[in-house]
Amino acid sequence: MTTEHLPADSGSGRKPRIGDEVELEIGAVAHGGHCVARWDTRVVFVRHALPGERARVRLTDVSHAGYFRADAIAILRPDARRVTPRCGHFRPGGCGGCDFQHADPVRQLELKAAVVAEQLSRIAGIERQVQVEALPGRVDGDAGYGWRTRVRWALDADGRIGPRAARSHQVVGISVAAPCEIAAPGLTELATVLEVPERVRRLRGGGHRKLPEVTLTHAADGAPIAVWAGAGAEVPLITETVAGRDFSVAADGFWQVHPEAAAVLYAAVGEAFDGVELTGGTAWDLYGGVGLFAAELADRVGPTGAVLTVEGDATATESAAANLADLPQVRAVNGRVEQVLDELADRVDAVVLDPPRSGAGRAVCVALAARQPSVIVYVACDPAALARDTAALAEAGYRLDTLRAFDCFPQTHHIECVARFVPDPSSR
């Protein structure tokens, strides 16, 4: 690694290299957990800094034509709301799981709001003031730590178990002395006493490049559970409860990772349907998981209506059918949304969609708009994907109405949005 300090004008006459250090003024926050700085004409995405700070940064990636990546290694002019990160793994070159532990909790909400607004503006051409709401009881003191009830950690050849370092396959070794501070109580302890199943051990020895992974879950209804990917063992079901209804979900299946998130999103989705008469109507819950939002839609359409929940994972679809078996108006379908949509009715009254990080995509947005629902409620875990799909829906005749954003992932750059789309008469 080079310790030579390049002048800020990069006029040293040689190409910058990983490890080079330079002092930079730190600009706005950008999507992905970093801030934007400029070094000559070059954009530098800097982790571990805050907007308005001056920092010495170390280059971590110079492989792209248009930009570099860097870590702030010394803060020369700190922001007033910079705080000391609690986690020892939150540092340059360290864990990639958290991005904002160095900002106080309210500043984190502002950073995330700025990112959502910027993505909507740049990608969808929509100017919107965004406020990110903290989840109940989770903004002060300890509340931003110990919340993550599910983690998926990797096992490396040296027996280390933990999350990966930022933009790297290197495993960050988690131990009781150096725990993951956002993981729910008991998960770090469980990781340190895990037996690696024989089948997973063989995978590791077989020259596979992909590291074995384990999901650790702290369900509301019991002790922490570990599920190794590829172990071939039966995966236990756990129970989560929202609005008085129990949902069975595989211990390694999808469920919101913050203990308050599912209930908050369920309420926000319900609120987005307020004032819309759906009794006896039809509704789709796309990317439905184990049926969380289908339960809300079933209430809205009532026993004379019909709800279809579509989910790509067979186990989750089975759980959805079982979880909602007492609601005969709900049908659970296993399949990929983009394929199943072709076979569905050509009219629907209401849609909820909660796609993975990549978003629903243009084809799905266009196909949905063609069914002329009176409301589309989009639950989004990635603001860039939400902005892309907002643009696609706008072209197809739907405008963004209300937008709420929630801090379901404190200390990280991740944000969950609930966006309501309605027909835009002016585009028809």
Residues with catalytic function: 381
- The size of the interface with ligand SAM (CB under 6 A), counted in residues, is 18
**DSSP symbol at 287:** T
Shortest Å, Cβ 263 to ligand SAM: 11
237-242 and 213-217 strand pairing: unpaired
Rounded to an integer, what distance in angstroms lies between the CA atom of residue 223 and that of residue 178? Answer: 21
**Interaction residues for ligand SAM, span 320-359 (CB under 6 A):** 336-338, 354, 356
243 binds ligand SAM (CB under 6 A): no
Specify whether the CB–CB gap between 388 and 122 falls below 8 A: no
Among the listed residues 293, 378, 398, 406, the single contact to ligand SAM using CB under 6 A: 293
42-47 and 54-61 strand pairing: unpaired
Any long-range contacts for 9-15 (C-beta under 8 Å, 24+ apart)? 9/40, 10/39, 10/40, 10/42, 15/62
Specify the amino acid at residue 310: V
The position carrying tokens 């903290």 is: 134
Specify whether the CB–CB gap between 60 and 71 falls below 8 A: yes
23 binds ligand SAM (CB under 6 A): no
Q: Which residue is nearest to ligand SAM (CB)?
A: 289
Shortest Å, Cβ 239 to ligand SAM: 14
254 binds ligand SAM (CB under 6 A): yes
Shortest Å, Cβ 336 to ligand SAM: 4
- What are the CA-CA distances from residue 269 to residues 130, 265, 297, 316, 355 (Å)? 17, 6, 9, 20, 14
424 binds ligand SAM (CB under 6 A): no
Interaction pattern, residues 375-394, with ligand SAM; x per rule: CB under 6 A: ------x-------------
Among the listed residues 296, 311, 349, 416, the single contact to ligand SAM using CB under 6 A: 311
292 binds ligand SAM (CB under 6 A): yes
The position carrying tokens 């089975």 is: 318
Shortest Å, Cβ 310 to ligand SAM: 6
312 binds ligand SAM (CB under 6 A): yes
Residues contributing to the site for ligand SAM (CB under 6 A): 254-255, 287-289, 292-293, 310-313, 316, 336-338, 354, 356, 381
